[in-house]
C-alpha cells in the first residue's frame, strides 16, 4: 500500500466533511468509559476507556478476534454494550450498559455517525446514486432532487462521478467501498467509523479507498478506523490503539506505538506482521 503523505493526491477534488459547530470542540466527539461487551458467556471487550477528540483520527489495530470490530460496532450501537458508558457528541447514549434514547431518537443519532463496513453492504438493487440518496430522503427528509444533487457531488469527490448510474454489481470492490463512504458522508455525520474498510478488496484496488480516507482525514473529519493496513494507520492516525483479547493493551501516537512499542504483546504482533512481508 503506497499511500504516502508525500505523494501528491491525484484527485483534484477533495472530500469535504460537513461543517461543524464550534461548540462541539471542547468536548470529545466520542467518549467510551469502562465499556464491556459479552456474547453470552464470552467476554469480547472489557474495561475499554477511549476518547476521540473532534477532528481526531484514531486507528484500532490488533489480531483477529481481539474485539476491535466489536468495539467500533458498539460506537454506533450496532452492538449493545453490556456495561459501561458511551457518549457521542456530548450526548449520553449508553449508561451502565443501558441504552438511554428511545428508538426514534436512536435513528436520528445513527445518522450522525457514519459507518463503513468491511463488506461494503451497498444495496444491490439500487444504483450508486440511489444508494446514496435513499437515507437522505428518508432519514433526513431531504427533497429527492436535493438529495440526488448532493449524491452526485459526493460521487464526484470520491472519483466516481462517471459511475452514478451503475449498479453495485458492476463496480469493483474499491469502487463499491467508495460509494459506501459517499453514502455515509451524505448524512453529514459528525463521526465516521470504518470497520476494516479494505479487507475485502483486492490489494491493487485498496489504494483508491485509502486515498479517499486520507482526504477525508485531511478535511478534519473525526474518524475511528479498524484496519490491518499498518502503514496506512501510521500515516493517517493521530492516535493508534492496539487491542488484544478484548482490552486496549497499548495506545500512543503512531511513532510511539510503531516506533517503540512498550508492551511485549504489541511487539509480537508488529513483528509477526513484519515477517509476513518477506
Partner 1 sequence: MQFILDLMPGLATTFGLWLLILLIGLPGGLALGYLLGLGSRTLRVLGLVIVNIARGFPGLVTLYFVYSGLPELGVFLTNFQAVVAAFAFTTMGYTAEIFHSAIHSVPRAQTEAATALGLKAWKIQVKVVLPQAIRSVVPTLLGFTVIVLQATALGYSVGVRELTGLSYNLGSISFQALSYMLAAGLIYLVLCVVISQLADWMQSRSAGKRVKRVKHSPRKSHPTTTPTPVA
Partner 2 sequence: MIWLTDVLAVIPISLFIWAVSLVLGAVVAVPTAGARMSQLRPVRILAAVYIEIFRGIPTLVWLFVIFFGLRTFGLSPTALVSAILTLGIASSAYIAETYRSGLSSVPIQQREATTALGLSPRLSLIKIVLPQAKPIIFAGLGSYAIHLLKETALTSLIGVVEMMTVANYLVERGANGLTVFFVTGVIYMLLCLPIAGAVRLLGRSRRQNRPAGPDSLTPLSTPTAPPECAAPWHGMRWHECNSSST
47 binds partner 1 (CB under 8 A): no
- Beta strand pairing status for 191-195 and 113-116? parallel
For 273, other C-beta atoms within 10 Å of its C-beta total: 13
Separate counts of helices (H) and strands (E) for the chain: 9, 11
- Position 97 contacts partner 1 (CB under 8 A): no
Q: How far apart are CA 256 and CA 85, in angstroms?
A: 28
E strand map for the chain:
30-39, 42-52, 57-61, 83-88, 91-95, 98-99, 113-116, 191-195, 222-226, 239-244, 247-252
The reply to whether 141 sits near partner 1 by the rule CB under 8 A is no
Question: Which one of 166, 228, 234, 267 is in contact with partner 1 (CB under 8 A)?
Answer: 228
Q: Which residues bind partner 2 (CB under 8 A)?
A: 76, 78, 104, 107-111, 113-115, 117, 119-125, 134-135, 138-139, 167-176, 183-184, 187, 200-202, 204-205
Of 15-23, 57-65, 84-92, 150-158, the segment contacting partner 1 by CB under 8 A is 57-65
Q: What are the b/e assignments for 13-48, b being 16+ CB within 10 Å?
A: eebebeebeeebeeebbbbbeebbbeeeeeebbbeb
Fill in the DSSP letter of residue 253.
Answer: -
Give the nearer residue to partner 1 in terms of CB position, either 13 or 245. 245
Nearer to partner 2, 80 or 253 (CB): 80
Q: Which does 62 bind (CB under 5 to 8 A by kind): partner 1, partner 2, none?
A: partner 1
Position among 17, 69, 76, 87 found at the interface with partner 1 (CB under 8 A): 69
Q: Is 142 in the site for partner 1 (CB under 8 A)?
A: no
If one asks whether residue 172 binds partner 1 (CB under 8 A), the answer comes out as no
- Compute the distance between CA of residue 242 and CA of residue 13 in angstroms, rounded to an integer: 33
CB of 243 to partner 2, least distance (A): 21
Residue 44 beta carbon to partner 1: minimum distance, rounded to whole angstroms: 9
Give CA–CA dist 3/77, Å, rounded: 31
- Count the helix, strand and coil residues of the chain and give each as a percent rounded to the nearest 5: 40, 25, 40
Closer to partner 1 by CB, 28 or 168: give it: 168
Using the rule CB under 8 A, give the single segment among 28-36, 67-75, 87-95, 136-144 that binds partner 1.
67-75
DSSP H or E run through 147: helix 144-157
Of 226, 230, 240, 257, the one binding partner 1 (CB under 8 A) is 226
Binding mask 179-218 for partner 1 (x = CB under 8 A): ----------------xx--xx-xx---------------
Specify whether the CB–CB gap between 121 and 148 falls below 8 A. Answer: no
Q: Is 267 in the site for partner 1 (CB under 8 A)?
A: no
Task: Quote the CA–CA distance of 124 and 214 in Å, as a whole number.
Answer: 27
Please tell me whether residue 276 binds partner 1 under the rule CB under 8 A. Answer: yes
Give the binding site for partner 1 (CB under 8 A).
Answer: 62-70, 118-119, 195-196, 199-200, 202-203, 226, 228, 243, 276
Amino acid at each position: 500500500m503506497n499511500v504516502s503523505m508525500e505523494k501528491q493526491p491525484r484527485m483534484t477534488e477533495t472530500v469535504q466533511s460537513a461543517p461543524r459547530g464550534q461548540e462541539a470542540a471542547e468536548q470529545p466527539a466520542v467518549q467510551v468509559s469502562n465499556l464491556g461487551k459479552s456474547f453470552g458467556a464470552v467476554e469480547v471487550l472489557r474495561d475499554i476507556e477511549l476518547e476521540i477528540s473532534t477532528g481526531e483520527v484514531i486507528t484500532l489495530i490488533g489480531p483477529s478476534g481481539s474485539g476491535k470490530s466489536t468495539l467500533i460496532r458498539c460506537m454506533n450501537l450496532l452492538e449493545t454494550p453490556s456495561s459501561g458508558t458511551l457518549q457521542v457528541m456530548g450526548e449520553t447514549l449508553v449508561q451502565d450498559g443501558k441504552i438511554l434514547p428511545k428508538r426514534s431518537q436512536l435513528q436520528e443519532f445513527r445518522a450522525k455517525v457514519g459507518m463503513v463496513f468491511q463488506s461494503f453492504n451497498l444495496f444491490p438493487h439500487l444504483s450508486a446514486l440511489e444508494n446514496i440518496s435513499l437515507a437522505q430522503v428518508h432519514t433526513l427528509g431531504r427533497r429527492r432532487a436535493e438529495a440526488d444533487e448532493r449524491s452526485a457531488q459526493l460521487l464526484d469527490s470520491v472519483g466516481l462521478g462517471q459511475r452514478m448510474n451503475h449498479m453495485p454489481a458492476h463496480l469493483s470492490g474499491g469502487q463499491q467501498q467508495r460509494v459506501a463512504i459517499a453514502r455515509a458522508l451524505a448524512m453529514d455525520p459528525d463521526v465516521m467509523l470504518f470497520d476494516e474498510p479494505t479487507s475485502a478488496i483486492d490489494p491493487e484496488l485498496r489504494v483508491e479507498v485509502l486515498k479517499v480516507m486520507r482526504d477525508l482525514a485531511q478535511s478534519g473529519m473525526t474518524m475511528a478506523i479498524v484496519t490491518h493496513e499498518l502503514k496506512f494507520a501510521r500515516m493517517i492516525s493521530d492516535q493508534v490503539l492496539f487491542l488484544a483479547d478484548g482490552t486496549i493493551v497499548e495506545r500512543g501516537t503512531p511513532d510511539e506505538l510503531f516506533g517503540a512499542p512498550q508492551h511485549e504483546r504489541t511487539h509480537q504482533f508488529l513483528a509477526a506482521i513484519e515477517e509476513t512481508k518477506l
